[in-house]
Structure 1
């Protein structure tokens, strides 16, 4: 699945040489030995050839790269962790602003805050914050970058207790489309700060994030319990009922999937459809046994691997299942409630999984996520109790179109009123971007875009199109 991109005009050799000579970091060009590695991204569905990859060493390089793209009229892709499902972190021709060398992290235990540069992944951040028993809501796959994850909302294992990643953002350093360096917080550039918490990368390049941290210790009660596929109706209905009384300390999801060949599952189920219920308890470990019990007795248990785990280890537990380089397409639907019709849709599409790599996740929101006022952040669909994430994957291009169609069918069947999670809209589709925000929020985002990026320099994203743009 590809994204629509404007054609890039060639950059003159002398102009390019002048630009690259002024970087403190490095520029990688076509034909150089490291070019193929530097241009690759996590999602193998996007094989692009940029004209230059600017591997930024710091803010000065970011400013220089933005100024160069603007002055030369070149399309610009911004890369943090490089996990963009629609491929926004790369392009053909044009310039990739690569933040991945910028991975500095500074934890402030006294104030329970952390400052992290935008090239960090969640694995980087967790490694530092866990030295002090602290954490903030991060991605379910630790190689995900903190930048796009946070600016799009940020759904993770700690969210019901501590909110989304964007809810814990307390400040950000940003380079805007005109090359200006600004600070965004509740006290400085407050409207920009509002937009960064859910509005994606539309308003500038965040070079550093400051998060509020929470004391969770080094160990959480977490794990998975597996049930037979033929008990899907019972398990899904039981899951919905159990969520109604779940404490905020417990974040859970259902994974309608295919059993991987892991040692804790019987060999007889390897490669067959199963239902996994995963959870993370971020409170007192003893209390967690009682809180997780309803989710661990929803049907015939194939295996139960809930146990105390190092938090950083649990954050990386799913990494082997999401390797770099395969083809990925994700779609989502936010639901106020999961009624019987929605459960039937999930069961029906679970019965026709296109391949063993495809999955349907039903994840419980609520808790701290729902208590944030809708107007406080650009992530405004706060009254949605559940999110369905549809994971469509193939090892290579063969059959990829088929699984993409399947994923679209799942979300379409959930109904036209389902909202979308902007990080999992699958592609650059204006209707899906609009579905990620209430109308008043979207209008406010357009006004913010008009102010900070009227020419739509930052358009390789889930784009908020400025009303004053000629794009």
Structure 2
């Protein structure tokens, strides 16, 4: 790859409306900081694009100079693939805007937007897109990976609400991908990651979601086996307007948790109910939470949907040490229960956790070949996160995560949500994640990015001619 010298950076500055930030410029260290502080990379330049023309100019520059190129949207990448040492970062963060059309119940979202921007704009109309569990997550990366969250059982994956995407391709041309236009590209964008171009805006279909029922239930960690055996049967059989992701965690020292359980290792479920709150319906739906064991804490409340999306923002803010891995599961056999018990009892730090997100319900009613997402038969998407603020604990949280995943993986379906794959993992994980769709994705890659310009991602190389 070609080097980026100061003369080239100067030329790039002249070509863009947005700023270009190089190592000697004020704000460089801020520009290279992302959500995961375990990532410490030093790009040669950041090109902050304010419009599509800027994106085209950056792609042209990278193509002409041979500069290593990474694309940054919300900067939430756990694996840090939005940064590249000594290369060029195409930064979409200035393209942070949302336009709601309440008549058509659609929303157009800029490529640098975060989920909080989307939720804020759509909530004014009592509408939402099923997307994530944290407001600071980038809309772009989440969507291109497939996207799951609190509303998945009710409304499907994020990509199931995607209507179209405006994309700048590797040759600098601009296209709109949809079911009618560039359908192969549209198919690939729905789960195939950032392999095919730079998406400058997404258009989504909206769904009713204003005030939702929220509940948090936690049990002592020594009851995890009983709780997991109950949960694995209860949730898949529950109405689709109830979602709840299972977690192992250390109780944080603050509300809504009572002081006697602060710092305790627990297992729990964070519930979201979209079925209406009249007549204390949520309490009725969750009346079975006492069946596996008496909860150490059970809290229910109505809540605006955007407030639910911000629940974890202050608990796990930007700047922590992160290491994560994941897998898909269609069942939680007793062997997996034993693994969860072992590692829940040995959580190494106060923020380390495991989340088991349900991806059944509406997500399973989309055809298995309709999108690049290859696991429509999955019931849960699991992520294990080793997390701590102290860099001295980076090795500890990483090892806990790797060991947990290694013991749990034999019980999985073999692949994972692509956004949970880091560059440290075996490349075969990408092929396993796409199953029989991999070869089709490689063919789409050849058609739209034959030289693999966009490879700083969970990469799918172009198919051979």
- TM-score, scaled relative to structure 2: 0.96
Mapped pair 1:135 → 2:128: yes
What is the CA distance between 1:352 and its match in structure 2? 1.7
Further displaced range: 113-122 or 87-96: 87-96
- Tell me the residue number matched to 2:324: 330
**Deviation readout 1:174-211 (Å, 9 max, x if unpaired):** 00111110110000000000000000000000000000
Indicate how the Cα distance of structure 1 residues 245 and 203 shifts in structure 2: closer, same or farther if over 3 A, else same: same
Structure 1: unaligned runs, 5 residues or longer: 1-7
The worse-fitting range, judged by mean Cα deviation, of 348-357 and 64-73 is: 348-357
1:268 corresponds, among 249, 260, 278, to: 260
Residue 221 of structure 1, aligned match among 213, 224, 246:
213
Q: Which residue in the other structure is 2:419 paired with?
A: 423
Task: Give SS of 2:166's match.
Answer: strand
C-alpha displacement of 1:9: 4.0
Partners in 2 of 1:317 and 1:296 — Cα distance? 24
Partner of 1:292: 286
Query: CA separation in 1, counterparts of 2:68 and 2:336?
Result: 41
Question: Is 1:301 aligned to 2:295, yes or no?
Answer: yes
The aligned counterpart of 1:460 is 456
Contact 1:242 / 1:295 at 8 angstroms: preserved in 2?
A: no
Q: 1:160-199 alignment to 2 at 5 Å?
A: 160-199=153-192
How many Å separate the matches in 1 of 2:207 and 2:313? 24
Shift of 1:12: 3.2
Determine the C-alpha separation between the residues in 2 that align with 1:215 and 1:322.
28
Match status 1:433 vs 2:425: no
Paired residues of 1:226 and 1:304 also in contact (CA < 8 A): yes
Distance in 1, Cα, partners of 2:378 & 2:351: 27
1:89 aligns to 2:82 (yes or no): yes
Partner SS, residue 237 of structure 2? coil
- 1:399 is displaced (CA, Å) by 2.6
* Deviation (angstroms), 1:102: 0.4
CA distance in 1, matches of 2:399, 2:245: 24
Shift of 1:65: 0.3
Q: Is 1:42 the counterpart of 2:35 in the alignment?
A: yes
1:59 offset after TM fit, Å? 0.3
Is the 8 Å Cα contact of residues 428 and 463 (structure 1) preserved in structure 2?
no
CA contact (8 A) 2:2 2:68 kept: no
CA contact (8 A) 2:21 2:45 kept: yes
* Residue 118 (str. 1) matches residue 111 (str. 2): yes
Alignment of 1:53-132 (within 5 A): 53-132=46-125
Counterparts in 2 of 1:271 and 1:285: CA distance versus 1, 3 Å:
same
Provide, for residues 226-277 of structure 1, a one-character-per-residue CA deviation record: whole Å limited to 9, x for no partner. Answer: 1111111111111112113211111111111101101332322211201221
Partner-residue secondary structure (3-state), 1:389:
strand
Equivalent in the alignment of 1:397: 391
Map 1:300-449 → 2, pairs under 5 A? 300-416=294-410, 417-427=413-423, 429=425, 430-438=427-435, 440-449=436-445
Q: Is 1:237 the equivalent of 2:233?
A: no
Q: 8 Å contact 1:43–1:87 — kept in the other structure?
A: yes
How many residue pairs get aligned? The number is 460
Cα offsets for 1:38-76 (capped at 9, x unmatched): 121111011121111101000000000011011100011
- Quick one: distance in 1 between partners of 2:327 and 2:404? 9
Inter-partner Cα distance in structure 2 for 1:80 and 1:293:
41
Determine the C-alpha separation between the residues in 2 that align with 1:301 and 1:152.
35
Q: How far off is 1:383 after superposition? A: 0.5
TM-aligned CA deviation for residue 297 of structure 1:
5.1
SS of the residue aligned with 1:182?
strand
Q: Are 1:252 and 2:244 matched, yes or no?
A: yes
Distance 1:383 1:361 in 2: 19
Deviation at 1:405, TM superposition (A): 2.4
Decide which moves more: 429-438 or 120-129: 429-438
Shift of 1:14: 2.6
In structure 2, runs of 5+ residues without a counterpart are none
- 1:296 Cα offset (Å): 6.0
Q: For the aligned residues, what is the CA RMSD?
A: 1.5
1:288-326 deviation per Cα after TM superposition (whole angstroms, max 9, x unaligned):
332233246542222222210111111101111211111
User: Is 1:280 equivalent to 2:276 in the alignment?
Assistant: no
Q: Distance in 2 between matches of 1:295 and 1:80?
A: 39
Alpha carbons 1:265, 1:302 under 8 Å: kept: no
- Counterpart for residue 203 of structure 1: 196
Would the aligned equivalents of 2:422 and 2:458 in 1 still touch at CA under 8 Å? no
Q: Say whether the 8 Å CA contact 1:80–1:148 is kept in structure 2.
A: yes
Secondary structure in 1 aligned to 2:445?
Answer: helix
What's the TM-score once normalised by structure 1's chain length? 0.95
Pairwise CA distance, 1:110 = 0.8
* 2: CA distance, partners of 1:105 / 1:112: 13
Helix, strand or coil for the counterpart of 1:48? coil
